[in-house]
Structure formats: C-alpha cells, structure tokens
Amino acid sequence: MDATPFLRFALAVVLAVFLTSLLPQLPDFALLFAGFGFCLWALMRRRWFVLGLVFGLLWASIWGHMLLQQRLPESCSGQWFEVEGQVSSLVRQYDGSLPAQHFRFDVTRFMQGDTRCLQPRQLWLSAYQQQGFSAGSRWRLQARLKSPRGYNNPGGYNRLLWFASRGIDATGSVRVSSAVPLPPRLHFHSTVSVLREHVRATILSSVVHSDAAAILVALGVGDNSLIRSQLSDALRALGISHIVVISGLHIALAAGLGLFLGKLFALLGLGGARAMGLCLALVFATYYALLAGLALPCLRALIMLYVAVWFLLRDAPTPLWLPFGVALCAVLLWQPLSPLGAGFWLSFGAVAALLALARRYRYLSAWRLALLMQAFLAVLMSVLSLCFFDGLSPVMLLTNAVFVPLASLFVVPAVLLAALASLANSPLAPALWRFLGDGLGAVIELLSRTSQELPNPWVELSPGVIALTVAVLAAALLLLPPFRGLRGIAVVLLLPLVLPRGSNVPAGAVDIWVLDVGQGTAVLVHSAEHSLLYDTGGGSDTFTIAESVLLPVLRRLGIKQLDTLVISHADNDHSAGAMWLKQRYPNLQSISSDPRFGETSCVAGMLIDWPLEAGRVLEAQFLAPFSATERRLSNDSSCVLQLRIGSHRVLLPGDIEAARERELVRVYAAELAVDVLLLAHHGSNTSSTHAWLKHVRPRLGIASAGHANRFSHPHPQVLERLAQHGVTVLNTAHDGAILLRFYPDDSMVIKRWRYANWRYWY
C-alpha cells in the first residue's frame, strides 16, 4: 500500500489549517464556494498536496465562521440577560476572601435580553460568594455577559484561545440573588460531569492530607484548581509538574493497562488475546478520558489511539507513517485551532520522534528499544520545556526517570481503580483513596524538602524564534537516518537554546509598556540596562496578575531583574502582586505611598535617572504626594510619576481624583504638560477634569481598564472631555498591551499589541 499520496495530503492539511488559524480575517463565503470546485479539480487530477491545501483552508474557514456566528457580539458586552440552562462541567471551587465558582453553562433558552444578542449557547460563568451550583443542575438566572476575552500581552497564557478552542461563546458573572433552580435533565456531558463531581467529593471527604487530596483530584478528575502555588512551584522545580496534569501520557498509560491484560490473556492461552488487549486499551483510555472531562489533550490522545487500533485490527500491511497521518488529519478536522497550542506539537512531536526511533533502531531487542525511547523522551521533555515554558529543571532527567515509571506502574492504575470503586459506590472507595492519600502525602513532603534544598531549582531561559527553529533542525538531524553523520553538528545546534536571551530594546531606546491586566494598572518602563514597574495589577488569595501575566512578560522581553517597583497606592488592583515580586526579586527597590509596600516613601521631587547612550538620560520624577506624612484617602495618596525621555513626557497619575488634580495644577501649572497621559483611576468620571486636561495637554490618553467592566471605565463623559481637548484615546481592554518606544533620535513609535497580532478568532 502506497501511503505517499495520503501523507502529502495530510501534510498539506496541517499547513493549510495552521495558516488559516493565523489569518486576521476569514475568506468570505463566495471565495469558499469557489474552493469546492477547485477541490474537485485537484481530486480528478490527483494533485494530493493541492487538494490538502484547499480542503484544509475550506474546513478551517467554515469552522471559524460557525465559531464567530455563535459568539456574543462585542456591542452586546456588558448587558444583563436572563437565561435558562444547565451546568455541564465540573464546578471549580475557589475559596478565599471572595469565594467563587466557575463553570460551563449550556443555554437552552434566553428568557430576556436584546434580540440582537441571543446567539450564544455555551457560556463560561462565575458566581461569587455562592456555593450552590453543581454539575448537572439546571437554573434560571441573570448573568452579565461579555464576548470572550483574555489578557493580550507579549508572552503568557492566551485565555481567548482556550475559550475559542472549547466553543465558549460568552463569559459572564451571575447575579446570585436571581438564580432559581429548575428540575434536572441530564444529557451526556452533564452526566459525565455529575459522575466526576461524585468522584471528587469522595476524594476530598476521604483524604486528610490537603496537598495529597489536591493531586488525587487532579489525577482523578482533571481538576488542578486545588493545587497550591507552593506545591506547584515544587513540582516545577523538580521537572515533574506534567505528571499531575492529565494529558496524552496518562491516556497512553491507561491504554497500556489494557494491553497488559491482553498479554495476560495470551499467557493463559485464550483465543483472540491480541484483539482483546487492543479493545481493552480503548476501554481503559476512554474511561480515563471521560474522568478527565474529555479535555482537549485527552481527546487528542484518544483520537490517535483509536486510529492506531483500527489499523492494528485490520491485520493488513500498513506503512508506519500512515496511521500517524490519519490521526493528524482527524485531530485537525475536529479542532482546527489545535496547532496554536503547545500540546499539539508536544503530542505529535513526541509520537513522530518515537516512530522515527522505532524505525531507525528496529534491530534492537524490545527492552533496549524501550530504554532508548525512555531516555529520548526525557531529553525531549527537557528541550520542549525550554521551548514552551521558558526554563528547565536541572534534575528533571533524574526525577522523570523515577516518577514516570512510578506513575505508570502504581499511581495511575490505583487512581483508576479507586475512581471505579467511587462510581460504583463501593464501601472500599474511601479506604482506597485514604491509602493513596497517605502514601502520596509522604512523597509530597519528601518532594517539598528536596525542592527547597536544591541550590538553583529552576533555570529560567527564554530562547528566541531563531534558536527554536535551529533546535527543530537539530532534532531532524538527530532522528532522520540520512543525516547520521551529522549528529555532532546537531548537538552544537542545540546550544543556542541554553544561551541567555538579550533585551528586546534597541540600544539607546526606552520602552514603556502599558500592560493589559484587566481592571487594574501595570506599567513597565525599561531600557537595555534598567527596568521599573509602576503597579502590579490585581489578584486574590489564589491568583495574582504578577505571577500569571507580569512574569511571562518579563521573560519574553528578556528582563532578568527588576530594578525598581513603584506601588502607587494600596488598592488591590494596583498592589496585589507586590509581595510576590519582592520575594522573587530580593534586591528590588520598592517605593510606595503605603509603607506596607515600599521601603521608601514616594515624595514630590524624588528623582530616578537612568543614563542612556549619547549623553541622554531617562528621568522619572515624583510629583505627589507632597510629603511622606501626608494623609489622604487612598486614591489621592497615589504616587504621581512623570517620565522624561528626551523631549517626550509621560505622566502616570495612579488613581488620583479631582481634588488632587487641582492641587497639582496649582503647584506645577505648565510643567504638567506631557505627550502621553495614563488616564487617572482607569478613566473614572471622578478624574480627568477640564482644568487638568487643559494643563496636561496630552496628545495621547491611555485607559488601563477591564473589558466591559462594571464601572463603565473609561466613563463616557471622560471620553467626551478628552475629545473636546483633542486627545486620542487608546484602551487596553480593546487594544491589548500598548507599547511606547522612544528612539535615540527622539522619535516615538506606538504599537497596539492586540492589533499587531490580530487573528480572526480575536
């Protein structure tokens, strides 16, 4: 059987689907209709590569149009809707100062709302200070909906991609007092979620050790929201955090249990043992994928497994790469945005590498080949950790050699058995979970102590695009038989991965990033040698913008060390990450109007200056408060900072309101004039008065505000006043992070990150 035509087709489909996902706008339907005719022409002429390109483009485009058609229009964001529907996912609980529940909600009927806005059918809802929602429950409720959105910054997690790939049409918050329970009507997804919630409840009621319970919940039902950040850091430092996140590896382990039982049947002399083993592999893998809520990585692995088993059961000669190509096309047709996630390349890259190894070293005995593959996977995980997670653990090769077999031979089989006992309501279930919890608790204590004793538990590296491209080339040289003589060169080509990444700022230039942190403020100022952060964005007991957004940004921009942290005032949306940053950067100079956040008080006249090239200097001067002992309401106590780069001026006023603006006008008058103004208090109507704007005279105003926020920031009256003064306004809620780059020739360039990287699914 010649697989070449199909492999050409599959390669073209991958290329077309991937490129379509990067398009800023989808082709219109007239062009797509013409594409069907082109497909027929390519099929009749047997132009397999051309057929794959056109087919991939058509499929991904049609899928994209359907996605956008269901999404809540941006003009409807912020409106209240009354809906009926059902909780169709596991409910994620977050306990802290503001308890919250997050869940998927399948809409069956819109009871009330703008008729132009009734397309969404899949919602991701949050309920605060409410613990009544559970999987499978039906409700009539009022929710304030928004079109899906995520933080848009250089580096970091793309939340919008997560929403798009899971078909979430809108996000929103529930008005708790409006929620009315309805009689349940279970369907497939909600039934699976009800069973998963039952397993989770059994674990939490049976296991005393909280960290052990959190890991068992993660391994048992795919909910990692209970894992503490300290435990997560310890697992990452040891390079084994991937073991506690259900992925293709775990589905493969579950399938391996089925194959093992098939081997036992063969030893007993039972007929059809091979087919029985393959079928059991599918049963075990499907069971575990259902426990994980059919998450995308599990579904991807499940598709690959079903394709492989189908070819194996045919008992016909099959080229090695044909099942791989079929699985690749099946995954892309099911989820065309898959190539934008690291998991897609991790999964298929690992499988492709193992197939290449199996073919190249087919003369080895089974156990030697297994050892070689295990060693290769450990090295591959190290390289991929560098590529996708900006660092690696020095001990990850050793820890994976120990804990991957441990998880394979004991933990995963035991978890599957205990979950089955829970689903059957067996009295043995609590005892099984308790036994697992006790053993896992001892292991966690050992891991925590080990990670603390490591001198440098996590090496942060951020290889650039060129280094990653060269690494892919090196992997090809190592694996492909025609290049056996070039292995030494391949090793050399891998070296750029571990070289430190330099600053992204051109020599002599200064970058000011107004970062997209939702309803909060975080402004990063940096040159090639210095960096200053003005405010950290918000957060809660279990989540901070500093850890989830600012750290990835710093890594991506090549900033190894923050020099200065300014916390304008104590409000949570400005200061939540201060303590975390001070722990991470022990030499950080901190300045604030609140002594809890800064060793130094910001006082008018205080000056920070950075030398630049050609005698240029960046000056950061504080304009308020007027004394360290001044007592004001929180907003008016904000540190007001003016930045001077060449002839350009930028003003960061924190959350000051009209009273403080009047004082600053009286004291500084014309000295307040700037090119760029960060709107005070996110654009609240309590700030940005006519008198203030008359003296500041900005050409550009920037609002750091949340998407469709409940405060209506920036306020329409503020926008009207800015328009009257001829001020152009940008908003992080719509533009993403905003970059102001000041070059040595005194020119300024403005870049809106969301539009510079626009995709059709934004």
Q: What is the mean pLDDT of residues 11-15?
A: 90
Q: In this structure, which amino acid lies at residue 407?
A: A
Strands 600-601 and 122-128: unpaired
- 118 with 40, same domain: the answer is no
381 belongs to a structural domain:
no
- 557 with 482, same domain: the answer is no
Cβ-Cβ contacts under 8 Å for 56 (sequence gap 6 or more) = 12, 13, 14, 15, 16, 17, 20, 332
Question: 164 pairs with which residues across the strands?
Answer: none
Encode burial over 281-318: b for 16+ CB neighbours within 10 A, e otherwise. Answer: bbebbbbbbbbbbebbbbbbbbbbbebbbeebeeeeee
- 595 with 446, same domain: the answer is no
pTM for this entry: 0.88
362 belongs to a structural domain:
no
Q: How many whole angstroms separate alpha carbon 142 and alpha carbon 508?
A: 53
From the list 675, 741, 737, 700, the residue with the least C-alpha distance to 510 is: 741
Q: What is the mean pLDDT of residues 290-315?
A: 87
Backbone angles phi, psi at 574, to 5 degrees: -120, -20
When the pLDDT of each residue in the chain is averaged and rounded to a whole number, the result is 86
180 belongs to a structural domain:
yes
- 39 with 141, same domain: the answer is no
**pLDDT class for 157, splitting at 50, 70, 90?**
confident
Report residue 351 as tokens: 């499988």
The answer to whether residues 619 and 643 touch, using CB atoms and an 8 Å cutoff, is yes
- 409 with 312, same domain: the answer is yes
CATH of residue 137: 2.40.50
- 492 with 572, same domain: the answer is no
**pLDDT class for 275, splitting at 50, 70, 90?**
confident
The answer to whether residues 596 and 676 touch, using CB atoms and an 8 Å cutoff, is no
CB atoms within 10 A of CB 721: 18
pLDDT digits (tens, 9 = 90+) for 576-623: 999 999 988 989 999 999 999 988 999 999 999 988 877 788 999 999
pLDDT digits (tens, 9 = 90+) for 40-56: 888 888 888 999 999 99
Per-residue pLDDT, 10: 87
CB atoms within 10 A of CB 587: 8
Q: Which of 497, 521, 552 is a domain's end point?
A: 497
- 564 with 444, same domain: the answer is no
**Does 1 score more than 60 pLDDT?**
no
Q: Which of 55, 70, 85 is a domain's end point?
A: 70
Q: How many whole angstroms separate alpha carbon 307 and alpha carbon 744?
A: 58
Q: Report helix, strand or coil for 544.
A: strand
Q: Which of 53, 70, 87 is a domain's end point?
A: 70
Question: 360 pairs with which residues across the strands?
Answer: none
Q: How many whole angstroms separate alpha carbon 377 and alpha carbon 397?
A: 9
What is the count of structural domains for the chain? 5
- 94 with 180, same domain: the answer is yes
Q: How far is CA 655 from CA 88, 321, 658, 687, 695, in A?
A: 40, 60, 10, 8, 18
Q: How many whole angstroms separate alpha carbon 693 and alpha carbon 704?
A: 18
**Does 321 score more than 80 pLDDT?**
no
376 belongs to a structural domain:
no
| Across 49-58, 74-83, 352-361, least confident range | 352-361
pLDDT digits (tens, 9 = 90+) for 414-464: 999 999 999 999 999 999 999 999 999 998 888 888 777 776 666 666 666
364 belongs to a structural domain:
no
pLDDT digits (tens, 9 = 90+) for 535-589: 999 987 667 899 889 998 998 888 888 999 999 999 999 999 999 999 889 899 9
Q: Report helix, strand or coil for 205.
A: helix
110 belongs to a structural domain:
yes
From the list 199, 219, 213, 217, the residue with the least C-alpha distance to 437 is: 213
Q: How many whole angstroms separate alpha carbon 511 and alpha carbon 504?
A: 9
353 belongs to a structural domain:
no
- 233 with 337, same domain: the answer is yes
**Does 39 score more than 90 pLDDT?**
no
Q: What share of residues in the chain are helix, strand, coil (percent, to 5)?
A: 50, 15, 30
**Does 107 score more than 90 pLDDT?**
yes
- 263 with 233, same domain: the answer is yes
- 740 with 670, same domain: the answer is yes
Q: How many whole angstroms separate alpha carbon 689 and alpha carbon 703?
A: 15
CATH of residue 702: 3.60.15.10
Per-residue pLDDT, 654: 96
Q: How many whole angstroms separate alpha carbon 203 and alpha carbon 220?
A: 9
Q: Output the furthest CA–CA distance in the chain (Å, rounded).
A: 95
Domain limits for position 469: 465-497
- 478 with 540, same domain: the answer is no
623 belongs to a structural domain:
yes
